[in-house]
Amino acid sequence: HLAGGAEVADVGHARADEHFVDLLASHFGQTVAEQAIIHKQKELFDGIALIDDRPVINNADQATWQHVVFDAPYNRDIATDLRLKGWSDPNLANILNLCLGRSKTRL
């Protein structure tokens, strides 16, 4: 399980789904991989964090989660204190705790 009992939802692109589920299983275990939600409209799902390499997420202002930038060379110019430098980043728990404190309640 992730920090604080958080669950994982993959709301990315369909063609990457199989790779992403394998990645989740290898880093967080099969249970997390089996619970992944795969959907294009990220803002429809409640959560504390959306981890994505894209610098801008459509409709993020409508979401309850905080955008955590998954580090990549093309997004390093984005200023944020929510940046994950790989799935083994030792700051993952701290980042998720920051997101928990900032996440919004859906009206």
Task: Write the CA distances from 18 to 1, 38, 63, 68, integer angstroms.
Answer: 20, 10, 25, 22
- The domains found in the chain, sorted by start residue, are 3-102 (3.40.50.1000)
Residue with tokens 């980043």: 89
- pLDDT-based confidence at residue 100 (cuts at 50, 70, 90): very high
**Which tens digit of pLDDT belongs to each residue from 31-78?**
888 887 777 888 888 888 988 899 999 999 999 999 999 999 999 999
What pLDDT is attached to residue 5? 57
34: nearest Cα among 49, 17, 16: 17
pTM over 0.85: no
